[in-house]
Amino acid sequence: MTQPATTGLQLHSLIKDSGELELSLRQVPVAEPAADEVIIRVEAAPLNPSDFNLLFGAADMKTAKASGTAEFPVVTATVPAAAMPAMQGRLNQSMPVGNEGAGVVVKAGQSPEAQALLGKTVATFGGEMYSQYRCAKAAQCVALPADCTAADGAAIFVNPLTAVCMVDVMRKEGHKALVHTVAASNLGQMLIKLCQKENISLVNIVRSQAQVDLLKEMGAEWVCNSSSPNFIQDLTQAIAATGATLVFDPIGGGDLLTQVMAIMEQSLIKAEPYSRYGSATRKQAYLYGVLDRSPTTIRLNFGLAFGISGWLLTHYMQTLSASERAQMQAYVLANLKTVFAGHYTREVSLAEALHLDEIAIYSQRATGGKYLINPSKGLSA
């Protein structure tokens, strides 16, 4: 087994109180693992929208400038003054980035649990994954099946578990079907395959005909295009047919949520005795992202039996028992190459991830445009 070097590269994000974002690579010491820890040589870590929050903060990346060297590039950008109050909690702290990833265990502490992982390809989460080497608790590592590469297992936590938890929410809250508003996303495509496997009715909302075609090709039954003149009609038909009373929305801004809830209400009141308070059946919306930062417009035209809440995977997982969490993780692993297979448009090194032309592409969060960082690419072990 090749021993790790004593130092390794790590991608950092720093917002200074002067209002400047600085992205850089740092050479940091590789920790000596404690008895219950392992050192992972990271080979794959996705650039998920949730990583952008820490990576870019509130910086306006249109102002980004490159400096530094080819080996140690530096990117700076301006954080608008109006956004600085929201950055107070992280000012002047250089923060390592990367929520999840996978790689090979190259060193292990003395505990049997840690030793059992030596030489295995494992996935883990908890931050700092855009690092050449990552020290992790053995208990927080998932050994990947023998036929899986680090790239196959790099993203087994955030999106797969979110899709599984959405279905869990639906079942526990007693909804018959669900609506998802960014259905062509990586997560949206996993949810389609999961609902097909579990025989669950899913109403998919997308925003272009190309995305309709993509999802129809996957066998999705209900796909409604918000940019089509027939959108309201199509959504009304899909909600009436499925009986969906739950919506997960990562867009946030605009009035799509109100449209969906109003159509649910109209569908419900047709089947219930008249009440001046609207339908007594609860409609639930979970806002689980902020892809559109414009104001969220809510018109209360869907009765009074409703809930609108924020939703975060980490918070939801904390409400589950250890055995539920273990079952979900096992389900994801068993279906890793099918339902939860991730697709990446490009694999970049840590230095390449800081090229302005690459940032301009991956920061668009476009359908099918997900990047994978390989912190070991082009570096000797």
Which long-range CB contacts under 8 A does 311-317 form with residues at least 24 apart?
311/169, 311/248, 311/286, 311/287, 312/288, 313/158, 313/161, 313/162, 313/165, 316/165, 316/169, 317/161, 317/165
Nearest CB to ligand NAP, comparing residues 62 and 270: 62
x/- site string to ligand NAP, residues 80 to 119, per CB under 6 A? ----------------------------------------
> How is residue 305 written in tokens?
């039996």
Q: Is 248 helix (H, G, I), strand (E, B) or coil?
A: strand
DSSP state of 31: P
- Residue 187 found at the interface with ligand NAP (CB under 6 A): yes
Q: Which stretch binds ligand NAP (CB under 6 A): 22-30, 71-79, 180-188, 235-243?
A: 180-188
3-state SS, one letter per residue, for 299-311: CCCCCCCEEEEEC
x/- site string to ligand NAP, residues 237 to 266, per CB under 6 A? -------------xx---------------
- Residue 365 found at the interface with ligand NAP (CB under 6 A): yes
- Residue 311 found at the interface with ligand NAP (CB under 6 A): yes
Nearest CB to ligand NAP, comparing residues 133 and 248: 248
- Closest-CB residue for ligand NAP? 289
> Which one of residues 33, 49, 98, 101 is an interface residue with ligand NAP (CB under 6 A)?
49
- Residue 182 found at the interface with ligand NAP (CB under 6 A): yes
Where in 133-172 is the site for ligand NAP (CB under 6 A)?
158-159, 162
Helix (DSSP H) and strand (DSSP E) numbers for the chain? 11, 20
- Residue 366 found at the interface with ligand NAP (CB under 6 A): yes
Nearest CB to ligand NAP, comparing residues 12 and 207: 207
Nearest CB to ligand NAP, comparing residues 151 and 268: 151
Q: Is 343 helix (H, G, I), strand (E, B) or coil?
A: coil
Sign of CA dihedral 340, 344, 349, 354: negative
Cβ atoms of 128 and 144 closer than 8 Å: no
φ, ψ at 131 (rounded to 5°): -135, 145
Q: Which residues of this protein are in contact with ligand NAP, per CB under 6 A?
A: 48-50, 158-159, 162, 182, 184-187, 207-208, 250-251, 288-289, 291-292, 311-313, 365-367, 370
